[in-house]
Structure 1
């Protein structure tokens, strides 16, 4: 067993780190030379798949395979990871006709995957392999052989999977990205796979999900009403504003805390008709607008509320910056 004595200087630590990264960069450069018609055919097979892309691999290849499957699943290609060892003891039932199998083995000689191949062939499932080169039982059995190239591992013993796993992950990402383009996968599609995250909230949350829409409780005042009535309405509504309407219930303006401050500077009295001190042409948005876009409108115009007005110009709802920030919209 090796001892734990540190015989490296600080500079040597940094040098070994840079050497490892440069070795992996060289592996990625070698990988780019492997992208040819085989890659195109692999993409076409996956696009034509009626089922799922099932990714398998043993050891470090399996860990990379899990990430590749997760990336596929979150970018519009239904996929999951199947452990090849467990597959030989029942989990192979996960694989059905209509699926595509993406098998990863750097050497191409994984015993666990070898055991599965007769069943895969019997089911008529397309097999795409990822390995160092075209030698080995796995690539020989595959319909499409994707190769990484014979790169040097960053491990000084040239044993631990380092450069090879980096290249495998990059190749999986390349497949996923190509499929994103081919499927015209959008940010909205991506959000549907990530509803619990910040991105999901940003892309999926609409104004109608957060707006105050109980019309009976919205702060409304007629344009002929005195300022005193508007202040009572504003206080009761607790939104820092009141919406001003005409006799036909159409929105004609708003009165906010800012309007009140400006009015006090002009020494207006409580009997002043609200139409004389209100702000006209209030900002409004559609209830179907993204909440994040509504927040942008508020920030750009230095306001804290937006109106949602229906086709009859009647007030339908109000949304405030506090509603958006409380919901985690950014």
Structure 2
């Protein structure tokens, strides 16, 4: 038998795992609060330089900082600031040629002493490219080469033996995002601009215009207010997607009411069949909620959710119906409880 002592593994319980996970998150939160408290004029100076950039923000970093840099390029680009990633190693092998004199460099390095970053710095200086540095020490090689330093300080890396970049990378990312978003605000980047940059997915749909998704033309059921309910349902049936509402208009074509399938079902359930032969104006909802064609889909979702309605007429500047938003058209954008109503 072997004479080596038997090593016993101490069970790593779920309780211990959760405890350590919480400690890691708390360490990051403490670091972020420390950095937030210490932000000063250097941050606003960096924002000024980035917002006045007439070219691109060229983001550079190596290792974990490089991966964060690529993410920041996406943040800048999607919030109105043209940006490009430059890998320091590739920069010294010819890619520095992509940098123009109108650009600003945003260089990330926790230590500020990465060899690859240090080799790239003279190439930026030769081209007169101003550098914004996010680094722990303003007296590091990177800090001394930068026009503006957003110093984040040294932070103990959370978890394990404190070796893997964790807290420091969280801080780098957060400060970079803060620079991108404040720069975007200074540039006057609007919600409409954001929508144009994000046409796809649920976010894109939420920021799209009502006119992009509303039901129009032959899909609408429109009736004059003096027509009876029975006549309306006999004459305004429409093919295609079911529209669960009749838009009621006056002699000028302006919207004066709405009559839904639920209203019809209520009359039948209450055995008020005689009212079917009266004018629809007697049973419609008068002066219903409505949207303008240039309203956002987000606004439509807000109104549907707050007022618990299923249909919203869309009108032009003369209050004439031009479309309809049905709850089923925006079901994926609604809060959970409203999704349940739509499904029902």
Question: By the TM > 0.5 criterion, same fold?
Answer: yes
TM-fit CA distance, 1:307: 2.5
Whole-Å separation in 2 of the counterparts to 1:121 and 1:32: 30
Q: Tell me which of 214, 230, 233 is aligned to 1:231.
A: 233
Per the alignment, residue 328 of structure 2 pairs with 322
| Count of matched residue pairs | 323
Contact 1:233 / 1:242 at 8 angstroms: preserved in 2?
Answer: no
Per the alignment, residue 134 of structure 1 pairs with 138
Per the alignment, residue 219 of structure 1 pairs with 221
TM-fit CA distance, 1:37: 2.9
Kindly indicate whether residue 45 of structure 2 is the aligned counterpart of residue 66 of structure 1: no
Per the alignment, residue 107 of structure 1 pairs with 111
Whole-Å separation in 2 of the counterparts to 1:225 and 1:150: 76
Per the alignment, residue 54 of structure 1 pairs with 58
Whole-Å separation in 2 of the counterparts to 1:235 and 1:139: 72
Per the alignment, residue 38 of structure 1 pairs with 42
Whole-Å separation in 2 of the counterparts to 1:47 and 1:176: 9
TM-fit CA distance, 1:150: 3.0
Contact 2:58 / 2:105 at 8 angstroms: preserved in 1?
Answer: yes
TM-fit CA distance, 1:13: 4.4
Query: Taking structure 1 as reference, are residues 268 and 185 closer, same or farther at Cα in structure 2, changes over 3 Å only?
Result: same
Query: Taking structure 1 as reference, are residues 152 and 8 closer, same or farther at Cα in structure 2, changes over 3 Å only?
Result: farther
Query: Taking structure 1 as reference, are residues 46 and 323 closer, same or farther at Cα in structure 2, changes over 3 Å only?
Result: same
TM-fit CA distance, 1:64: 2.0
Could you say what secondary structure the match of 2:77 adopts? helix
Per the alignment, residue 209 of structure 1 pairs with 212
Query: Taking structure 1 as reference, are residues 129 and 231 closer, same or farther at Cα in structure 2, changes over 3 Å only?
Result: closer
Specify every segment of 5 or more residues in structure 2 that has no aligned partner in the other structure, as ranges.
1-6, 335-344
Query: Taking structure 1 as reference, are residues 324 and 125 closer, same or farther at Cα in structure 2, changes over 3 Å only?
Result: same
TM-fit CA distance, 1:242: 2.9
Q: Relative to structure 2, which stretch is displaced further, 7-16 or 101-110?
A: 7-16
Contact 1:24 / 1:166 at 8 angstroms: preserved in 2?
Answer: yes
Query: Taking structure 1 as reference, are residues 37 and 232 closer, same or farther at Cα in structure 2, changes over 3 Å only?
Result: same
Per-residue CA deviations over 1:88-145 (Å, capped at 9, x if unaligned) read 2232222111111111222322222222222211211001223332344322222223
Q: Equivalences for 1:134-213 in 2 at 5 Å? A: 134-154=138-158, 157-203=161-207, 205-213=208-216
Q: Tell me which of 292, 296, 303 is aligned to 1:297.
A: 303
Could you say what secondary structure the match of 2:323 adopts? strand
Query: Taking structure 1 as reference, are residues 189 and 222 closer, same or farther at Cα in structure 2, changes over 3 Å only?
Result: closer
Per-residue CA deviations over 1:36-80 (Å, capped at 9, x if unaligned) read 333232222112211121111111121222223322233333222
TM-fit CA distance, 1:202: 1.0
Q: Relative to structure 2, which stretch is displaced further, 254-263 or 86-95?
A: 254-263
The TM-score normalised by the length of structure 1 is: 0.82
Specify every segment of 5 or more residues in structure 1 that has no aligned partner in the other structure, as ranges.
none
Query: Taking structure 1 as reference, are residues 283 and 148 closer, same or farther at Cα in structure 2, changes over 3 Å only?
Result: closer
Q: Tell me which of 123, 130, 133 is aligned to 2:127.
A: 123
Per the alignment, residue 259 of structure 2 pairs with 255
The TM-score normalised by the length of structure 2 is: 0.79
Query: Taking structure 1 as reference, are residues 251 and 190 closer, same or farther at Cα in structure 2, changes over 3 Å only?
Result: closer
TM-fit CA distance, 1:5: 7.7
RMSD: 3.2
Q: Equivalences for 1:81-96 in 2 at 5 Å? A: 81-96=85-100
Could you say what secondary structure the match of 2:313 adopts? strand
Query: Taking structure 1 as reference, are residues 219 and 35 closer, same or farther at Cα in structure 2, changes over 3 Å only?
Result: closer
